[in-house]
Amino acid sequence: MKVAVLALQGAFIEHEQMLQSLGVETFQVRQLLDWQQHKDALIIPGGESTTQMRLLQTSGLLHPVRQAILRGLPVFGTCAGLILLAKQEDGQPRSGLCTLDIDVHRNAYGRQLGSFHATGNVAGIATDFPMTFIRAPYVRRTLSPDVEILSEADGRIVAVRQGRQLATAFHPELTADTRLHQYFIETV
Ligand code: GLN
């Protein structure tokens, strides 16, 4: 199995390290040439969604990545990755990858609560999962019955799945807990 990790910006190395610790081969995607390699799944890391979006556009990756996800390539987006997958932001259409039927709110927790840790259950995947939030978004609402809510923190949706798309508002790659990555790999 080979997993592509979008490496335009953000915490992509941590995802690679976690996958490699699970014995999964990874490669970084920065340009179209990288993208042309065979891949069984894609990871979109946390970071800054506006920067990643700009780089997706200028690199020419936006359209092929979107098409691949729509055709069923399994994808796991964390934090900024969740934002890039979302179809709406604050009730308005987003210009991102727009493959996931959710409405997000960005930088949801204000300045003082910019970063925090919580522990929560991820339905059917993990109990007492450590969640690291860094200027995180949350999911305001789901836009399709196909979207399954996997986790809530403080009454806010923070993890969802829709078909082969998995997205979390928190950063599982920044903890030592590999259960979500393990789950993602198993579904691939
Ligand atoms: N606040 C960032 C954004 O809007 C996301 C933060 C993160 O990925 N840790 O893109």
Distance CA 24, CA 1 (A): 6
d(CA 152, CA 6): 26
Nearest atom (ligand 1) to Cα of 83? 10
Count the domains in the chain.
Answer: 1
Compute, in angstroms, the gap from residue 79 CA to the centroid of ligand 1: 6
Pick from 12, 48, 139, 174 the residue to mutate for probing ligand 1's pocket: most ligand atoms within 8 Å of its CB: 48
Residue 67 has pLDDT above 70, yes or no: yes
Best residue for ligand 1 mutational test, from 79, 85, 116 (most atoms within 8 Å of Cβ): 79
Phi/psi at 74 (nearest 5 deg)?
-60, 135
Structural domain that includes position 175: 2-187
Predicted confidence (pLDDT) per residue in 11-40, tens digit: 999 999 999 999 999 999 999 999 999 999
Q: Where are the alpha helices (DSSP H) in the chain?
A: 12-21, 32-35, 49-59, 62-70, 80-85, 179-187
pLDDT digits (tens, 9 = 90+) for 126-183: 999 999 999 999 999 999 999 999 999 989 999 999 999 999 999 999 999 999 999 9
* Share of residues in the chain with pLDDT > 70 (%): 98
Atom 5 of ligand 1 has which residue's CA nearest to it?
80
Pocket residues for ligand 1 (CB within 6 Å)?
46-49, 79-80, 83, 106-107, 134-136
Residue-wise pLDDT for 110-129, tens only, equals 665 678 899 999 999 999 99
Quick one: pLDDT at residue 151?
A: 98
Distance 108 CA to ligand 1 centre (A): 10
Q: Which residues are catalytic?
A: 79, 171, 173
CATH value at residue 152: 3.40.50.880
Nearest to 80 by CA among 113, 50, 59: 50
pLDDT band at 7 (very low <50, low <70, confident <90, very high): very high
Closest CA to 122 of 164, 54, 184: 184
**pTM, to two decimals:** 0.96
Nearest to 127 by CA among 118, 135, 119, 116: 119
